[in-house]
Amino acid sequence: MENSATDEVVSLERSKTDETLRKKTFNRNKWFFSVSGIGRDMSYSLIDSFLLIYIQFGVSLTLAQFTTLSLIIGVGGRIWDAMNDPLMGAIIEGSHFKRGKFRPWILLGAILCGLVIIIMFNVQSIPGWRFVVFMTVMYLLWESTFTMNDIGYWAMLPSLSSVKEERNSITTLTVLFAGVGAILAQGLIPQVTVGDMRAGYRLVGIIVGVTFIAFQALLFFTVKEPPRRKVEQGANISLKKMWKTIARNDQVLWMTLSMLFYNIGSTMLIALAANLIYLELGYNGTLYFYIVVAYGVTMVAVNALYPWLASKMGRKRLQNTSILIASIGYLAIAAMGWSPVFPFSIALLCVFAVLVSSGQALFYMTCIINMANCVEYNDYKHGERNEAVVSTLRPFMAKFAAAMHTLIVTLVLAVSGTFLLSQSISTLETQRDFFEKHNASDQTYYITQVQGYLEEYVGLPAGTPEYQAVSDTVSSEIAADDIVSKFQLDPSYVPALKDAMVVLTTPDGGQQELGRLGTFNASSIDESKGTYSLKIDDLKSGDESAANINFRDQRTLTMRIWVRLAATLLPVLMLFAALYTQRKKFIIDEDYYDKMMEEINSRV
């Protein structure tokens, strides 16, 4: 009897020691895993929020070329995803590396994806349809490499702990640091790109690509994967079994549908924020920065409060409240600017963006936890966790939603006429970049030639047959000119160049606005005085910028209505669809989760 009692004491002490070590490992994992999300979400935000902006305002394309590229990203990319996302999940599930089931794929995906991002934004001097082909290849490579990382990352999350409090804690922290990454990207990118779009994105591509790799390397070397259960050791999963696992988990399927609605709606405001602000207030990166900071800081703050709010209200009640708050914010933004009583201002936009962000952040947190709990549901129903396979649907859904919002944005920009108008800014941005790369002699020649082209457009309204005839003539003249042809100048938007400001930067760093390109005396350019560039955004003199003269001041009511409806009313409909789906079909609440864990633990 004494030996039996002694064995029980030893066993109890060993269990306590094991539990202490487990908690210590979890706490270490929780912080390093969560912090690594900063680089991941910086890279995802760059593609999700800014790729279309870069293409729209930084690359000169026809409407056909722009629409084709968007369709390839939106439709072709999804077909590609339909093949490689589940396949990647099956590959990860069957992996048996010494470094773990998830980490090797997380790091490999990050390295390859980071390199793709750098190339994507640093190869720019490819015109027209060749650019469409180039960006198509780069986008599909980005999707494939990001999938390696993304599925491994989110599949690893539920494997780190099945304890409800720990699961909530690490999920909250992961989403919080992901929000930090998104804020850094969305807040800083407009600051370095507006008015210097192409050079800005070259720098951004390098910074984000390197940061992505560095943060995922941090995860690889610091996060310890929990050991696999015996039933999983040495097991592989066939494609047939993979599809069976997904199809029979009804809860993950309903959550995927709900989050698809949510992700489409919740991204529309930020996806169209640039066009919304540029149309209403002007081409200014600082204004865009304000809304992103208001939106992002609120999201991070609310994520930090989520555990407390969830404990007080419960997930279902919290979801109802969050959708109501977000809807109020959206409807207020929809009503702004149509009368002097309720003007469109950046201050009001930020206030209502806070409501939108707080509501959406709370709802998203509940969705991520619900999605992670579907792993335990799979274990409860079928005796298998299969984290990578079950988690495959989350990244697939997120990228599918991103493609859908890309298609919606493309439709809005094309049908409303906003894209064609924005090509004035694209021409200005492109010419600014080429102008800065040439010497003073070529710059002088360029200004003289462009002034000659401008004279041919005098008195001709854009869109008329006469205007198109002149564009054709100027196109031939540009093609025959050895110097100007290097600038990839679109003849349809030559008139926008007359408003660009020629700026002198002196050797001591001072800048002087010398005059608009349309009236500037090119013979006054003197290389000994400093370097010359074109200024297209806000001017120190206070005069209106070339971008505003040719974009905001040329807006139409149709453009404003289309952009506003897509950025506000569509999200409200999508958010209510997401909430309705979970209310009707999702059954894993707090009590049901406790029941599942009791059953699962009893089998061990």
The tens digit of pLDDT for each residue in 544-584 reads: 999 999 999 999 999 999 999 999 999 999 999 999 999 99
Given a cut of 90, is residue 399 above it in pLDDT? Answer: no
326 assigned to some structural domain = yes
428 and 401 in a common domain: no
Residue whose entry in the numeric block shows the structure tokens 């030893």: 10
The last residue of a domain, from among 520, 539, 554: 554
Of 128-142, 219-233, 245-259, least confident by mean pLDDT is 219-233
The residues near 428 (Cβ < 8 Å, ≥ 6 apart) are 496, 497, 500, 534, 536, 546, 547, 550
Tell the residue number behind the tokens 């994507």, with chain if given: 120
Could you tell me if 352 and 462 lie in one domain? no
- Whether residues 520 and 390 fall in one domain: no
In a domain, 509, yes or no: yes
**Position 97 pLDDT exceeds 80:** no
Percent of the chain residues topping a pLDDT of 90: 48
Position 170 confidence tier, pLDDT thresholds 50, 70, 90? confident
- Structure confidence at residue 73 (pLDDT): 80
Confidence of residue 371 (pLDDT cuts 50, 70, 90): confident
Q: Is residue 28 part of a domain?
A: no
Together in a domain, 411 and 435 = no
Q: Report pTM.
A: 0.82
For helices 285-313 and 315-335, angle between their N-to-C axes, nearest 10 degrees: 150
- Domain span at residue 274 reads 35-226+237-417+556-603
In a domain, 10, yes or no: no
Distance in angstroms (rounded) separating the CA atoms of residues 258 and 271:
20
Is 6 a domain residue? Answer: no
The answer as to whether 476 is a domain residue is yes
Same structural domain, 410 and 452? no
15-26 tens-digit pLDDT:
667 677 878 888
pLDDT at 29 over 50: yes
Cβ–Cβ < 8 Å for 550, 424:
yes
Instruction: Name the residue among 479, 474, 427 with its Cα closest to residue 451.
Output: 474
Question: Taking the alpha carbons of 10, 12, 15, 20 in that order, is the dihedral positive or negative?
Answer: negative
Does one domain contain both 486 and 571?
Answer: no
Cα–Cα distance measured from residue 267 to residue 566, given in angstroms and rounded to the nearest whole number:
10
Domain identity same for 114 and 134: yes
Task: Write the pLDDT tens digit of every residue in 299-339.
Answer: 888 888 888 888 888 888 899 999 999 999 999 999 999 99
Does residue 159 sit in the same domain as residue 250?
yes
Integer Cα distance of 413 and 267 in angstroms? 16
What CATH number does the domain containing 269 carry? 1.20.1250.20
Establish if 30 belongs to a structural domain: no
The predicted structure's pLDDT at residue 241 = 64
Domain count within the chain: 2
Q: Is the pLDDT score of 235 beyond 60?
A: no
In a domain, 17, yes or no: no
Average pLDDT value for residue range 120-128? 90
Based on the fold, state whether residues 522 and 599 are members of the same structural domain: no
Q: Are residues 86 and 176 in the same domain?
A: yes
* Residues 445 and 365 reside in one and the same domain: no
In terms of domains, do 442 and 358 share one? no
Q: What contacts 547, CB < 8 A, 6 or more positions away?
A: 195, 278, 282, 283, 424, 425, 428, 536, 537
